[in-house]
Amino acid sequence: MSGINPDLQKERNAATFDPYELTIWWDGGDEKHKKRKALEKLFLEDPELEDVLPLSYMSHKQLYESSIRKAVLISNKLRDLRDIGELSVDTYTALLGGSLGFALLKEGNPLSVHFVMFVPTILGQGTIDQQIEWLGKAWALNIIGTYAQTELGHGTFLRGLETRADYDEKTQQFVLNSPTLTAYKWWPGGLGHTANHAVVVAQLYTMGKFRGLAPFIVQIRDEETHMPMPGIDIGEIGTKLGMKSGNNGYLGFKNVRVPLNHMLMKNQQVLSDGTYIPPKNSALTYGTMMFVRVVLIRDASLALAKASTIAIRYSAVRRQSPIDPNKPEPQIMDHTTQQLKIFPQVAKAIVFRANGDIIYDMYTHVSQEIEKGALERLPEMHALSCCLKAVCSADAASGIEMCRLACGGHGYMDCSNFPTLYGMGTAVCTYEGENTVMLLQTARYLVKAYGQALNPQMQLVPTVAYIKEIIEKPEFVNFDGSPEAIVRAFQYVAANKIRIAYDRLEQQRKKGAIFEVAANRCGIEMTQAAELHARAFLALTALTELQALSRKVSPALGEIFQLLLELYLVDACLQRIGDFLRFIKLTEQDVNRLELHLQECLKRLRVNAVALVDGFDLHDRILDSALGAYDGNVYEKIFAAAKKSPLNEEPVNVSFHKYLKPLMKSNL
Amino acid sequence: MSGINPDLQKERNAATFDPYELTIWWDGGDEKHKKRKALEKLFLEDPELEDVLPLSYMSHKQLYESSIRKAVLISNKLRDLRDIGELSVDTYTALLGGSLGFALLKEGNPLSVHFVMFVPTILGQGTIDQQIEWLGKAWALNIIGTYAQTELGHGTFLRGLETRADYDEKTQQFVLNSPTLTAYKWWPGGLGHTANHAVVVAQLYTMGKFRGLAPFIVQIRDEETHMPMPGIDIGEIGTKLGMKSGNNGYLGFKNVRVPLNHMLMKNQQVLSDGTYIPPKNSALTYGTMMFVRVVLIRDASLALAKASTIAIRYSAVRRQSPIDPNKPEPQIMDHTTQQLKIFPQVAKAIVFRANGDIIYDMYTHVSQEIEKGALERLPEMHALSCCLKAVCSADAASGIEMCRLACGGHGYMDCSNFPTLYGMGTAVCTYEGENTVMLLQTARYLVKAYGQALNPQMQLVPTVAYIKEIIEKPEFVNFDGSPEAIVRAFQYVAANKIRIAYDRLEQQRKKGAIFEVAANRCGIEMTQAAELHARAFLALTALTELQALSRKVSPALGEIFQLLLELYLVDACLQRIGDFLRFIKLTEQDVNRLELHLQECLKRLRVNAVALVDGFDLHDRILDSALGAYDGNVYEKIFAAAKKSPLNEEPVNVSFHKYLKPLMKSNL
């Protein structure tokens, strides 16, 4: 079990660049790299934070109890850091999400919604008085909160929520009720048995009139006994594909009363007599949603980095099926079909990462503008974050599965960690805005932009400017298969997809349909247009960012970035070749050239594949995979994982005596 | 909770055909239908065969023990049926695989390999004497067997297996050894703690010479104590994405001796002096593999039927996001994008089913020919079963996930049953021949056929005859978007993909590569060619079978089959539109027409969607889904499932007192 697997070592020796240089970029610079390493040392090498048993062997209840133990340990360590003045927002981010957070509580942390949603909501929607009252207790974890918005009957469509809060002027209290079963809150993390407070989003009524949605702080469990408060029906929603220790809960209200000042009143107010003062604008709510989506793009990159690290290391160690019958079985990474499954996932990890950085900068910029009252770029930013969230999360989920399938039967075992990676990864396609709904939101923006583009007087904002260029110069010429040509072609294809959605919408409207009905009838065209818009943006940022990066780093690493760029673009293009052939006059020779270019990229990447994923520098505990550990002792680790099964502790299971023996002995 | 959900009832009232007529076809006729219903009543309504707790709440160990309890109960019920003369092979098939088997032990039956592999191997490879010795005990379950072939280091590539059996003339025994860690047997179902015998496949050596692979019957556990036999290292391999109660095990040998007559000697023999008599031909081994793949095509159909039933019923009950803002929220099945996700999966379920029937008939026919010594059609049948296994299993797995995602957050919960359906469904992509390896095997056959097609004197066998037609008439004309045109176009595209693979192989060989090396370099082209061959076959059989069916059934149901055929073909065509546009001169108008035709199909299917899945007549216990039950009381059932969580049995979990309270009270 000691030492590095020789096949893996051979790969490392053959690499043409220094993975450490990649690591520094991946970490965002030298200083952040050092901080990350220190934090990982502090948390990942603490034996108390290890599980006595792999999670997959635990019962659901054991898993919850073990996750609370660890979540509290982590919180205590965070307090210790605070006490010595070493606690930053970055530390919270790393511990609650990101690679470190996922490593420590890989099926979800029941306390994370407290930090990620409960505290920020009070910050964003509470008045100064309310912040003073609640934030101290919340930061110190004297109370544990969650954020209760989604209901059993309604998720993405917020206006459909049914929980209601009626203001009672006599007592100056709100009365919360769940009028139906479908009004039950459903999904909030930590709600089941962990939190004792919640921000509850409800339909507000004052003076008998409906006022819209409002957030309320509600105590849901007693601080001493943790028993549910009167009128509160609470529990957890049960097991899921992933996030198994998130303690997602349900919550019903029966005449639960909270005082007037428990409504978060920064943006809208209810006065003691019931007078309602509506919010000035809802832009800031958008802001939070956008921020979360921006973070999810980075998470998609991270998920692909983990999956491809595991698959590439395994493919360097695993030998199977001769290529040349006169030679020994090759490393499976030498099979071209294997390269096609895995290498594009590494390229996506890098491209999504570069993209996440750009989007983050754009988001910061737009947020600053919003705070100054300039809302012009808000719809553009919203549209972009929606479609990128959808495309990146979908690509990450399918990329993880592609890597898993590339590892055959061993990828199917929990000890590979792929099942958990997928369970966590695919969840992103649904939460924070279901992907199809996200694409439709972007599409509405795009068809509007297309309408503006038809007007010669109108200027378009930067991320959709290509639509106008293409309307003005409608023929695509000179496709030479270069990265620049592929990016131009993506924009051309996207613009044409938007045109088709626009035209079909117009046709429906001419037939008398209102916009919304027309938009539903053209839903397929609209989602496709939005997807292509995202892909065109990803292609463009891949080009500009990776080329810029290539010039900043050493020539050896620069070549790798350039190669990844080509691989990403050619693969993306061939994946959507139908759209390209539909709108652009590509010859059979063009397509052949693209296919051979893709194979050329795979072949060129082969020698550096292991070094590339080494560059992600993912700690063995973060990978948590018998197939993907740094030392590549795959078979020993798989075997060791099997030995941990509680069933293997006894040579004979009790069921033999109880059931099998009587069966075998009867009928003799 | 009583009564049928009114939205679902409304759908049923509006249907234009009688689902019962579909059921009879789906079940294979009146008689089989009655038998199925009787068997389901006997097994699914037996309260003893219900679990006290949903499986997802159990620990791994509990899950195993509960599965043994049920597997033994089922075996006893099968004995009872035998005793009254009502046990047929169909009953075994239904109970060990198929919808009934999956319903009773949804994460796998530790006894199924005994019936599906152990017994058939003795039948197929044992001499008459060996059959007499072993089969009685095996059928009566006086011994429990498994089939140990795959090893930690080798799966699909059998020649790489490392377990060895050396014949010792002096004692007339074979000595079995696992010379390395990677030689450990890995994966056999029931091997962990259940079976006491195994058929072990090992590399045979006699008289100091290597002889090839041979099967041996080995006793692995004591019949009285169930303790591992001397020299046997045995246990289970741990948890997996699915098949969690299959008790898949590992097995190592250290000088384990078995007598000469424990080698199964029907096809090859070792005499007492060590003389080796090789098998005459290996065709019959092919036969079993083909049979299993044929069964897997049916399983793919069944998996899609289950997934689409759940998704369609849920989509009829769930209301969300207004289409027309002046109307109440619609059933989500009214969203065009939702229809696109789910309806093609129903069409695939029907097409794969029709296809499975044809392949089954072909297989039966070819098997009969083989038994008469006529092996001509064996390679064709082998090639076809490989690529269909790959394409149908991949489509089923992605179809299940599409249905799950279409059910949003609720689809992510275990109570939807989608996580288990996917875990079981995606496994098929890897077992019984990994899909990429399967496609490559088909591709080798196809490029050989292409070479023959270039020779004007050569005739091609029926399933590849289209290659020759297209070489002789190389221009595709008159694409009118009709089913017939799409089928012709699929063949045309497949033939062109095969041509490209062939040409690129030839180019590589001209550069000096041997066939195997060239085939690896062209692996991408080859797998694509094989995939298209499978899709062309599926399209053709969809056309012939569903049109023939349409004429046999009532006009109302005939119309449904016709519509499903159109939907299947147009969707399949648009999914691969890049290939179509590459080889066929389609105009923008052609593509537009296909897109609008697809939307038209979705719209026409809408009214009958619920009736269609009702026609699959899947018992609520088979679906095992809060979202998909016949009565459509989705929210009540989701809530009831949550209530079953052991965490919800106590209002306050022990971890509050142990961890959370100290955390909240410190730092006050």
Instruction: Find the CATH number of the domain harbouring A307.
Output: 1.20.140.10
Judge whether B39 lies within some domain. yes
Q: Which residues of A touch B428 (CB under 8 A)?
A: none
Task: Give the Cα separation of B416 and A240 in Å (integer).
Answer: 9
Residues A214-231: pLDDT tens digits? 999 999 999 999 999 999
Residues of A annotated as binding site for FAD?
150, 189
Which pLDDT tens digit goes with each residue over B398-448? 999 999 999 999 999 999 999 999 999 999 999 989 999 999 999 999 999
- Cα distances from A364 to residues A288, A367, A386, A391, in angstroms, run 12, 5, 16, 21
The pairing of strands A249-253 and A256-259 is unpaired
Handedness of CA B527, B532, B537, B541 (dihedral sign): positive
Does ipTM surpass 0.95 in this model?
yes
Task: Return d(Cα A68, Cα A65) in angstroms, integer.
Answer: 5
The residues in B 245-264 lying below 8 A from A, measured between CB atoms, are 250
Q: Residue A419 domain-assigned?
A: yes
pLDDT at A668 over 70: no
Q: Which uninterrupted H or E stretch holds B102?
A: helix B98-104
The pLDDT-based confidence of B88 (bands split at 50, 70, 90) is confident
Task: Verify that A295 and A386 share a domain, yes or no.
Answer: yes
pLDDT at B659 over 60: yes
Look at residue A282 and tell me whether its pLDDT is greater than 80. no
pLDDT in tens, A4-29: 999 999 999 999 999 999 999 999 99
The per-residue pLDDT for range B137-151, each reduced to its tens digit, is 999 999 999 999 999
Average pLDDT over residues B43-70: 96
User: Which of A56, A155, A647 is the closest to B64 by Cβ?
Assistant: A647
* Judgement on whether residues B51 and B72 belong to the same structural domain of the protein: yes
Total domains present in chain B: 2
Q: What burial class does residue A87 get, using C-beta atoms within 10 Å of its C-beta: 0-12 exposed, 13-18 middle, 19+ buried?
A: middle
Over residues B155-170, the mean pLDDT reads 93
Query: Does A343 contact B at CB distance below 8 Å?
Result: no
Residues in CB range of B182: below 8 A, 6 or more apart: A635, B151, B152, B153, B154, B162
Residues A297 and A419 in one domain: yes
End-to-end CA distance of chain B: 47
CB contact under 8 A, A524 and B418: no
| pLDDT at residue B585 tops 90 | yes
d(CA A331, CA A170): 77
Q: pLDDT > 70: what percent of chain B?
A: 99
What pLDDT sits at residue B360? 92
Rounded distance between C-alpha atoms, residue A85 and residue A70, angstroms: 22
CA distance A424 to B412: 11
- Cα separation, B476 vs B488, whole angstroms: 9
Are residues B149 and B76 both part of a single domain? no
In whole angstroms, what is the distance from residue B530 CA to residue B441 CA? 9
For B265-279, what is the mean pLDDT? 95
B163 is in an annotated binding site: no
A536 to each of A495, A581, B143, how far by Cα in Å?
9, 16, 62
Structure tokens at B209: 């010479």
Are B667 and A79 within 8 A, CB to CB? yes
**Residues B112 and B120: beta-carbon distance below 8 Å:** no
Same domain, A157 and A98: no
CA-nearest of A76, A59, A145 to A110 is: A145
Contacts of A168 by beta carbon, 8 Å cutoff, 6+ apart: A174, A175, A257
Q: Is A501 on the interface with B (CB under 8 A)?
A: no
| Tokens 């009365």 found at | A175
d(CA A112, CA A490): 39
Report pLDDT for B1: 47
- Only one residue has tokens 């709100």, namely A174
Q: Confirm if A514 and B324 have CB atoms less than 8 A apart.
A: yes
Boundary of a domain, candidates A229, A263, A279: A279
> Judged by CB atoms within 8 Å, which residues 189-218 of A form the interface with B?
192-194, 196
Residue B281's pLDDT is what?
72
Please tell me the distance from the alpha carbon of residue B220 to that of residue B228, in angstroms, as a whole number: 6
Contact A644 B238 (CB under 8 A): yes
Compare CB distances from A325 to B65, B340, B516 and report the shortest one's residue: B516
- Indicate whether B369 and B401 sit together in one domain: yes
Residue A303 covered by a domain:
yes
Do residues B292 and B421 share a domain?
A: yes
| Pair (B258, B385) in one structural domain | no
Closest partner CB to B647 (pick from A75, A193, A337): A193
Counting Cα atoms < 13 Å in the Cβ hemisphere of B377 gives 19
Whole domain around residue B210: which residue ranges? 143-279
Scored b (16 or more CB within 10 A) or e, A239-270 reads: bbbbbbbbbbbbbbbeebebebbbbbbbbbeb
Are the CB atoms for B627 and B313 separated by under 8 Å? yes
Q: Is A146 exposed, middle or buried (0-12, 13-18, 19+ CB in 10 A)?
A: buried
User: Are the beta carbons of A235 and B181 separated by less than 8 Å?
Assistant: no
The answer to whether residues B256 and B300 belong to one domain is: no
Judged against a pLDDT cut of 80, whether residue B625 lies above it is answered with yes
Does the residue A402 lie in any domain? yes
- B162, pLDDT greater than 70: yes
| Cβ pair B42, B77 in contact under 8 A | yes
A613-651 confidence digits (pLDDT tens): 999 999 999 999 999 999 999 999 999 999 999 999 999
Could you report the per-residue pLDDT of B295-324, keeping only the tens digit for each?
899 999 999 999 999 999 999 999 998 888
Q: Residue A471 has what pLDDT?
A: 87
Q: What is the mean pLDDT of residues B38-44?
A: 95
- Give A360's strand partners: none
Report yes or no on A623 lying in a domain: no
Domain boundary among B238, B262, B279: B279
A158 shares its domain with A274:
yes
Helix (H/G/I), strand (E/B), else coil: B141? coil
Q: What is the pLDDT of residues A366-408, one digit of tens each?
A: 888 888 888 888 899 999 999 999 999 999 999 999 999 999 9
User: Could you give the percent of chain A with pLDDT greater than 90?
Assistant: 87
**Segment B540-566 mean pLDDT:** 97
Mean pLDDT of all residues in A315-339: 93
SS3 B15: coil
Average pLDDT over residues B339-344: 98
CA distances from A445 to A391, A441, A528 (A): 17, 7, 14
Give yes or no for B522 touching A (CB within 8 A). Answer: yes
Residue A99 has pLDDT above 90, yes or no: no
CATH (domain of A231)? 2.40.110.10
**A579 Rama class: left (phi>0) / alpha (psi -120 to 50) / beta:** alpha
Q: Is B155–A320 a contact, with Cβ atoms under 8 angstroms apart?
A: yes
Rounded to a whole number of angstroms, the distance from the CA of A414 to the nearest CA of chain B is: 5
Three-state DSSP state, B201: strand
Contact residues, A window 426-445, toward B, CB-based 8 Å cutoff: 426-427, 429-431, 434-437, 440
- d(CA A110, CA B545) in angstroms, rounded, equals 53
d(CA A197, CA B278): 75
Which pLDDT tens digit goes with each residue over A228-258? Answer: 999 999 999 999 999 999 999 999 999 999 9
Residues in a beta bridge with A212: A204
CB contact under 8 A, B655 and A69: yes
Residue B459 has pLDDT above 70, yes or no: yes
Task: Tell me, yes or no, whether B461 lies in a domain.
Answer: no
How far apart are alpha carbons B213 and B150 in whole angstroms? 12
Return the residue of B nearest to A500 by Cα.
B592
Does B228 contact A638 at a Cβ distance shorter than 8 Å? no
Predicted confidence (pLDDT) at residue A346 exceeds the cutoff of 70 = yes
Quick one: pLDDT at residue B283? Answer: 63
Could you say which of A279, A303, A318 is where a domain stops?
A: A279
Contact criterion met (CB below 8 Å) for A312 and A411: no
Give tens-digit pLDDT for A569-601: 999 999 999 999 999 999 999 999 999 999 999
Residue A7 located in a structural domain: no
Active-site residue list of B: 432
Q: Who's near B564: CB < 8 A, 6+ residues apart?
A: B346, B347, B350, B351, B546, B605
- Long-range contacts (CB closer than 8 Å, 24 or more residues apart) made by B645-648: B645/A60, B645/A235, B645/A236, B645/A237, B645/A238, B645/A239, B645/B57, B646/A59, B646/A60, B646/A61, B646/B53, B646/B57, B647/A60, B647/A61, B647/A64, B647/A192, B647/A193, B647/A235, B647/A236, B648/A192, B648/A235, B648/A236
Phi, psi for residue A200 in degrees, rounded to 5: -110, 125
Q: What is the DSSP letter of A115?
A: I
In a domain, A25, yes or no: no
Residue B189 assigned to a binding site? yes
Verify that A294 and A370 share a domain, yes or no.
yes
Write down the pLDDT at residue A1.
47
B274 with B296, same domain: the answer is no
